[in-house]
Amino acid sequence: MKSNERVLSMMPGHTKAYRLLLRNRFAVDLSARCHAEHAAIHTSEKGDFEKIAPRITRCVTAIKWCYAGDHTRCKAHSSVCKGDQNNNWIVKSAYLKGNFKIDITKKENEETLADCIGYRLGDDILQKTKLNLNSQKVEATNRAIRMCLPKNVTFPRNFSGRAHSAIHSVNNGTGDSICKLCAAAGCPITQGGGAERSLRAAQLRAEKKKKREQSLASKLKRKMKKDKLFKMHEKNKEKSTYIKGQLLKVQKSRCVKAQKPTLKSRLAAEASAKDHLYARTRSRSRKRQAEKCSLLQNPEDEQ
């Protein structure tokens, strides 16, 4: 969507820079909306693709009108948008403002919006993602393998064993995996001992953390954090243009000011030198020396 020029012309706005900003936000928001709709329908229908496909088709129409400002169809066909004027997907979005609206009365805008939704909810994509799987398990497995088999160390003798041990730990958990491997090797861990209690505690901590991360409260917390960071990035985003020597100009001006002091600074320096303690002490000592010389020359005055 970010590389589609028709999406840029569909965005509301008077300047190209603002339309570019809206296109980037719209791309992220529509992607999240389509994924949320698919996940909610997949969960409610328990993975039955024959029931999921017609619901997705009706949901596509609701999504189009939702971005056009009409939320009446969301109440009947959407699973993540409430359909109320003050409680809908656009109002709660972290990427778009509540008054965001696309004019789909134009035929080209409606076709472009349908194509954008089809990137995720099209017929071909639904066939490929009908199981609603992701690559998180694969990434977790690769991370565990990298921990047991770092790239900077070679294990010519026990490479296969370490890899299988990593997979066994991912499938069973750290504590249970160690207990099962020790039992299979003929050296079981003593029941009730310190090692067995430590392994059981590690296993319980891992399971509690997994359940906590999958809970609704943790998901809402992560969403709020993501929304906060996104708004912070939009507020303090980096400049898209680069200007050479931005800091050198300031340094040069400071050097010029240091080399050419102003008249006011010179007068202040002279005044401070006159009022300095050393200067006063020197003048007093000279006066005393002059008085002593005059007394030595005229001893009668001293008497």
Tokens 């002091």 correspond to 261
**For the chain, domain boundaries:** 5-128, 136-212, 265-303
What is the largest distance, in Å, between two alpha-carbon atoms of the chain?
A: 132
> Which pLDDT does position 279 carry in this prediction?
46
If you average pLDDT over residues 135-154, what whole number do you get? Answer: 90
For residue 174, give the nearest of 198, 150, 191 by alpha carbon.
Answer: 198
pLDDT tens digit string along 161-176?
A: 999 999 999 999 889 9
pLDDT at 146 over 90: yes
Q: Is 75 or 238 the better-scoring residue by pLDDT?
A: 75
The residues, ordered by sequence, that sit 6+ positions from 96 with a Cβ below 8 Å of its Cβ are 22, 25, 26, 29, 90
Q: How many helices (H) and strands (E) does the chain have?
A: 16, 0
Q: Which long-range contacts (CB under 8 A, 24 or more apart) does 70-79 make?
A: 78/37, 79/36, 79/37, 79/40, 79/41, 79/44
If you average pLDDT over residues 38-42, what whole number do you get? Answer: 93
The chain-wide mean pLDDT, for the chain, equals 83
The residues, ordered by sequence, that sit 6+ positions from 189 with a Cβ below 8 Å of its Cβ are 178, 179, 182, 183, 195, 196, 199
pLDDT at 263 over 90: no
> Which range has the worst mean pLDDT, 150-154, 182-186, 192-196, 282-286?
282-286
Distance CA 33, CA 24 (A): 14
The two structure tokens encoding residue 57: 């088709």
If you average pLDDT over residues 34-50, what whole number do you get? Answer: 92
